[in-house]
Amino acid sequence: MTEHTIVHLSDCNIYQQDNLVLQNVVLNITKGEFVYLIGKTGSGKSSLLKTLYAALPLSSGKGTVAGFDLKSLNRRTIPLLRRKLGIVFQDFNLLDDRSVEANLYFALQAMGWSDHEKMMSRINELLERVDLKGKNSKMPHTISGGEQQRVVLARALLNHPALIIADEPTGNLDPETSDEVLLLLRKLAQENDTAVLFATHDYRILENFPARIVRCHNGKVFDEEDVVV
């Protein structure tokens, strides 16, 4: 493990309650690396992601994410880890009663920002970078699904994360919009030297926009070139 290692899992067993989902997991992701995570439904992808952002505890093995030891996390340190992460879900999880700007402002407050001018500057900077300049006052339900996911990307990048965890972020989008969102995410992550773990069922994306592939298969996690099906 080096200073550029963002995710390091070694001999980790991952459980959902008492059910062993993945065993002897070894995974390393370095700064700025883009990695796809694939696998059939129920193969453990979501459990792996939840372990990385501490929604599931790590009880065995060694694991660090963005410098945090997963086994020593507690109620005080879990929020500090999550401030180092950007998380993007299939369902946009935007607050319907608030404007685009207010959604991002709320997220910054939750991450400990307090300087209004700096917060507004960061919001406007990111809305411009995701091609939503001037959409600050729009309510989420008045913009398209692709635009909503762009807001989510902006939200994920607000706090200069070391890692973006994307769980089926294009699952509700049509192919053209999916491609636009993926390319934008890859571009923004590259510009910020941010690592990305991108879970997907869309093999068309993997073929059109190649990157390293990690697969959950039969209770194990493999780099794709090591998989024997």
CB 223 within 8 A of CB 211: no
Residue 190 domain-assigned? yes
Residue 229: its pLDDT value, please? Answer: 42
Judging by DSSP bridges, how do beta strands 34-38 and 212-217 pair with one another?
A: parallel
Residue 76 domain-assigned? no
Residue 93: its pLDDT value, please? Answer: 86
Residue 114 domain-assigned? yes
Give the DSSP H/E element, type plus range, for residue 151.
Answer: helix 145-157
Residue 45 domain-assigned? yes
Residue 29 domain-assigned? no
Q: What is the mean pLDDT of each run of 10 residues along the chain (229 residues)?
A: 88 94 96 95 93 94 97 95 91 91 96 96 95 95 93 94 92 88 90 94 91 96 69
* Angle between helix 116-129 and helix 145-157 axes, rounded to 10 deg: 130
In this structure, the dihedral spanned by the alpha carbons of residues 28, 31, 34 and 40, taken in order and rounded to 10 degrees, is 30
Write the CB contacts of 11 (distance below 8 Å, at least 6 apart in sequence): 24, 25, 26, 60, 61, 62
State CA 119 to chain mean position distance. 22
Residue 204 domain-assigned? yes
Structural domain count of the chain: 1
Residue 17 domain-assigned? no
Which structural domain range is residue 48 located in?
A: 34-54+82-226
Q: pTM of this prediction?
A: 0.92
Residue 90 domain-assigned? yes
CB 183 within 8 A of CB 215: no
Q: What is the CATH number of the domain that holds 131?
A: 3.40.50.300
Residue 224: its pLDDT value, please? Answer: 82
In the chain the first and final C-alpha atoms are separated, in Å, by: 29
Residue 172: its pLDDT value, please? Answer: 81
Query: Which amino acid is present at 125?
Result: E
The burial of 143, by beta-carbon neighbours within 10 Å (0-12 exposed, 13-18 middle, 19 or more buried), is given as middle
Residue 119: its pLDDT value, please? Answer: 97
Q: 129: phi > 0 → left, psi -120 to 50 → alpha, else beta; which?
A: alpha
